[in-house]
Amino acid sequence: MILRILLMVIGITGIILFYLPLGKKGIINYGNAVGMIVSVLVLLFGTFSWLFSMNFKIVLCVIVLLILILVIVINMKMVNAKNNIAGNEDVVIVLGCSCKSSICEALNQRIKAAARYLDKHPDSVCIASGGNTTEFYDSEAEYIAIELAKYGVPKSKIIVENKSKNTSENIQNSKRIIDEKGLSKSVAIATSEYHQYRASLYASRCGLKAKAINASTTKYMYPTYFTREIIAIVASWIRKK
């Protein structure tokens, strides 16, 4: 009975946590979609667990344990990546952030984090990377460049990369610019904390040595973005690209 109640509480809590980004900001992605589906399943299993056989429950427990181990391993890698703080890198890459219709808070946080670093390292070059369009701008990169200039970053220090549509392309296209201009392959990547591992993984595959400029994430948004990132990391391991 206690286990059933615990599962029901976990399920209800999960539904609330993963619904918050949708309810408050209208954000829906496969992070909170998967999170809500799993939470509903947990709630239903807790409510009707007596309908399932012991063998089914054992198999389910093994699957859940394996998933937990995978999540723990990935989380350790994410923590290591975000703790690999940029020191004196000459190239900063600011990653765009899938803003479908308007500028999302995560992108503004990445810009602020990059601006703070560039203020302390005025000789560094910044690549504003992102080709997704928004309601008011032709690309994320255009918006990044405009906002960085407002923070006092010289326009001559900002390179706009407005072709990429995802993280992999962000890094690949930035690497192409680095090669063309003969810039340092030791880079600082300005992105959300949870995103640093995957960004550094892609950077490594492109021959770049990446360090982190961490942007903060609103607390109630974190479960959604963390879940989405876990899925994306597993997919990147499988695709190896």
Tokens of 85: 């703080």
Q: Say if residue 167 is exposed, middle or buried (CB neighbours under 10 Å; 0-12, 13-18, 19+).
A: buried
What are the sequence ranges of the domains in the chain?
2-82, 91-239
pLDDT at 119 over 80: yes
Average pLDDT, rounded, for the chain:
93
Kindly state the average pLDDT of the residues 26-34. Answer: 90
Where helices occur in the chain by DSSP H, the ranges are 2-25, 30-48, 54-82, 105-120, 140-150, 167-181, 196-205, 222-239
- Higher pLDDT among residues 31 and 3, named by residue: 31
Quick one: how far is CA 61 from the chain centroid? 29
Q: What is the mean pLDDT of the segment spanning 153-166?
A: 95
Residues paired with residue 193 on neighbouring β-strands, in sequence order: none
**Average pLDDT of the residues in 126-153:** 91
Given a cut of 70, whether residue 128 has pLDDT beyond it is yes
CB 128 within 8 A of CB 141: yes
Domain at 91-239: CATH code: 3.40.50.620
Q: pLDDT at position 137, please?
A: 82
pTM, to two decimals? 0.92
Q: Which residues pair with 126 in a beta bridge?
A: 92, 158
Query: Alpha-carbon distance 164 to 174, whole Å?
Result: 9
Q: Which pLDDT score, from 0 to 100, does residue 241 have? A: 62
What is the reported pLDDT for 1?
79
Q: What is the mean pLDDT of residues 148-177?
A: 96
Q: How confident is the model at residue 101 (pLDDT cuts 50, 70, 90)?
A: very low
Give the separation between CA 140 and CA 215, rounded to whole angstroms: 16
Say if residue 59's pLDDT is above 90. yes
d(CA 138, CA 140): 7
Q: What is the band of 25 on the pLDDT scale with cuts at 50, 70, 90?
A: confident
